[in-house]
Structure 1
Amino acid sequence: MNALVLAGSRPGGDPLALEVGVTHKALIEIGGVSLLTRVVGALREAGCTRILVCCEPGPVEDLAQALGAGVIPPAAGPSGSVLRALEASGTPLLVTTADHALLRPEWISELIGGAPADCDLAVMMAERARIEAAMPGSRRTYLRFADGHWSGCNLFYLRTPAARAAVEEWTRVEADRKRPWKIVARLGPGLLLSYALGRLSLAEGLARLGKSIGARAALVRASDGRAAVDVDTPRDLEDVRELLDNS
């Protein structure tokens, strides 16, 4: 299994990293261990033999190389970086982010094991009830579907070469990731109406979206709500530190 860790920085620097006093979010430490080190360690424990870190030249690149990971330069946006990684490594490819501080190897195994044998890509999502049970008070972005409110886990399994079509579509809808109705609208008025009336399930939406772009997409439900918790804000960092300190 090949894996990609998205560890690029925003133009002007990441606000959380600057607040903490480091140059990049991937270098933020929890318990004396950087976020990037935690993520790469979880990927290795899950059996990923080749790990690529997408980052700019500098301290994150130096750390990635010290961890034994390969490095690729970022492209325009996360989706462009994933396309670049696909060109370098092919499929299957697991994709995650450097701020996934709680990443566990069992979640990776759950995603890969839960992906249907006939799918081209699988996405892990967590239900709101599981997230709130695992991390009370954690603020996440939720997508509302007929089968509940869902949040992404920053875990994607690109299983076959056909998954590339989905990444290419991602480049076109990246700006609308927090406005699901605009994404659904690309599939036609019938599906948009189903979503607006609350009749569209997340699994059905992913399947229909995949079909429209020529890739079979599947949902894998996270059994642990913590899989949806990344480090975006000072509150996230505080929550994750407290959780890890008490584990």
Structure 2
Amino acid sequence: MTGSITAILLAGARPIADPLATAAGVPVKPLVPVGGEPMINRPARALLDHPAIGQVIVLTQRPDVFAADPATAWLADHPRVRFETGGQGIASSLLALLERDDLPFPILLTTADHVLLDRTMLDQFVAEAGGADIAVAMVERATLLARYPDSRRTWLKFRDGWWSGANIFWFGSKKARPVIALWQEVEQDRKKGWKILAAFGPFALLGALLRVLTLRGGMARIGRKFGLTARLVAMDSPEACIDADKPADVTLIEAILRG
């Protein structure tokens, strides 16, 4: 699979001003300094350094600000990086990209605030997601709290544990398009797990409310509903679900980087 994966790095801006960007005095959140450099640099390097990744597409509403900043201008000049201008929604921007023929599958999608993304995480995710039409990286609460007991995340409870997203997604084939379209419909409610589950039907919602579904079983059911292979990748690295979303996250990430 050397160089065969297309990576999409989400570097967009919210419709309202991001508090981290405002506090740092930068136009978009991915330019916020974390560990001495703009946060986008670390996940970008992790993707480019991984042998399975070919091209890296930076999806943003403001490609101009990255070329203009001396600390991120290297991205605009890199032969394997290209910038694409996205809209306000992740799913709608992704669907627009998929309408074109120059975005080959498989696609690995991650975010510019995934500062701790590294080779180990990518190795595991690529190995376990390979062959699936869609895969989602998650971290179980016990994995995170064993190492970072004070870290606060958004958790979804299932019969097989409490899970938090790790901001790494896999789209293995064009069969993923209907799932992305559904994601587009519920995108504004992605932090509200029950609304996402409700979109997959009343039995999935009821199963989650009664905690009779495991997350793995729920993913398999989603796959059957859409006629595809859907897979959970339970990440071994607790750092996989620590993104730079709040000042406390940045403090923790910088402490981990120093360590």
TM range (shorter): over 0.9
Q: How many pairs does the alignment contain?
A: 245
Describe the shift of the 1:57–1:42 C-alpha distance in structure 2 as closer, same or farther (beyond 3 A).
closer
Pairing 1:191–2:204 present: yes
What is the CA distance between 1:210 and its match in structure 2? 2.8
Residue number in structure 1 paired with 2:88 = 76
The 10-residue stretch of structure 1 (146-155 or 9-18) with the greater mean CA deviation from structure 2: 9-18
Choose the corresponding residue for 2:21, options 17, 20, 28: 17
What is the CA distance between 1:190 and its match in structure 2? 2.8
Q: Output the TM-score relative to the length of structure 1.
A: 0.92
Structure 1 residue matching 2:228: 3-state secondary structure: coil
Pairing 1:102–2:106 present: no
The 10-residue stretch of structure 1 (124-133 or 213-222) with the greater mean CA deviation from structure 2: 213-222
CA–CA distance in structure 1, aligned partners of residues 110 and 203 of structure 2: 33
Residue number in structure 1 paired with 2:257 = 244
Q: CA RMSD in A?
A: 1.7
Residue number in structure 2 paired with 1:5 = 9
Q: Output the TM-score relative to the length of structure 2.
A: 0.88
Q: Deviations over 1:128-162 (max 9, x none)?
A: 11111232311110111110000000001111111
1:1-247 to structure 2, matched below 5 A, reads 1-47=5-51, 48-55=53-60, 56-62=62-68, 63=72, 64-68=75-79, 69-86=81-98, 87=100, 88-115=102-129, 117=131, 119-246=132-259
Q: Deviations over 1:101-137 (max 9, x none)?
A: 00012211211101263x2011110001111123231
The 10-residue stretch of structure 1 (221-230 or 13-22) with the greater mean CA deviation from structure 2: 13-22
List alignment gaps of at least 5 residues for structure 1.
none
Structure 1 residue matching 2:117: 3-state secondary structure: coil
The 10-residue stretch of structure 1 (106-115 or 143-152) with the greater mean CA deviation from structure 2: 106-115
CA–CA distance in structure 1, aligned partners of residues 153 and 180 of structure 2: 23
Q: Percent identity?
A: 37
What is the CA distance between 1:232 and its match in structure 2? 0.5
What is the CA distance between 1:61 and its match in structure 2? 4.6
What is the CA distance between 1:222 and its match in structure 2? 0.1
1:6–1:96: 8 Å Cα contact kept in structure 2? yes
